């Protein structure tokens, strides 16, 4: 099943890349979803996109407190705001590639074909580790004395478990 998903993702990426190679289209791949975005009005090594494209491609919106998505909000450094937000008449553009650097998010780009891939943030990559936390429990030792896992907080503990099924 996983191999089919990987194959589908590769084929979808190639299809999007082929369409983006016309030079008029740029594609942002964020959270494994490919979204076509408006081309930049001026050539740049950074990815400047409109705020509407930002929301469509990433679900982030610019708010007074920062760049937010659901409950997650990243404040923009006040002394660097011009590196992230640019107003051109009635259009506001956002530098998504510089934002990725700010939040330690991996970015891979194919400038020739206009494709930008954004990987998981470091914090998202480590979120799975929280599921390895052992539940709170109390068990007796061989002498009948009760011990809780929380009694060993801050110490290395080896838990040996097994199942009979």
Q: C-alpha distances in angstroms, 110 versus 11, 76, 114, 120?
A: 16, 26, 6, 18
pLDDT, position 132? 61
8 Å CB contact between 114 and 20: yes
pLDDT, position 155? 85
**pLDDT digit of tens for each residue in the chain (165 aa)?**
455 544 444 545 555 444 444 456 789 999 889 999 987 777 788 999 999 999 999 999 999 999 999 888 999 998 999 999 999 889 899 999 999 999 989 999 998 888 999 998 776 655 555 556 677 788 888 898 998 888 888 888 887 777 777
- Residue 71 sits at φ, ψ, to 5 deg, of -85, -10
8 Å CB contact between 49 and 28: yes
Which residue reads 């506001």 in tokens?
92
pTM of the model: 0.63
CA distance 14 to 148: 53
pLDDT, position 124? 64
Q: Residue 100: is it exposed, middle or buried by C-beta count within 10 angstroms (0-12/13-18/19+)?
A: buried
């Amino acid at each position: 099943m996983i191999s089919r998903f990987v194959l589908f993702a590769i084929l979808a990426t190639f299809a999007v890349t082929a369409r983006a190679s016309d030079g008029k289209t740029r594609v942002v791949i964020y959270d494994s979803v490919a979204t076509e975005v408006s081309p930049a009005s001026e050539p740049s090594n950074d990815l400047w996109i409109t705020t509407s494209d930002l929301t469509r491609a990433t679900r982030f919106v610019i708010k007074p407190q920062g760049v937010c998505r659901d409950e997650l909000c990243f404040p923009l450094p006040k002394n660097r705001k011009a590196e992230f937000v640019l107003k051109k008449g009635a259009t506001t553009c956002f530098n998504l590639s510089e934002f990725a650097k700010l939040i330690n998010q991996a970015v891979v780009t194919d400038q020739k074909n206009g494709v930008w891939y954004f990987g998981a943030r470091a914090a998202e990559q480590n979120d799975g580790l929280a599921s390895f936390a052992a539940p709170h429990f109390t068990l007796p030792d061989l002498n009948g004395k009760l011990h809780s896992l929380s009694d060993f907080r801050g110490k290395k503990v080896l838990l040996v478990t097994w199942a009979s099924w």
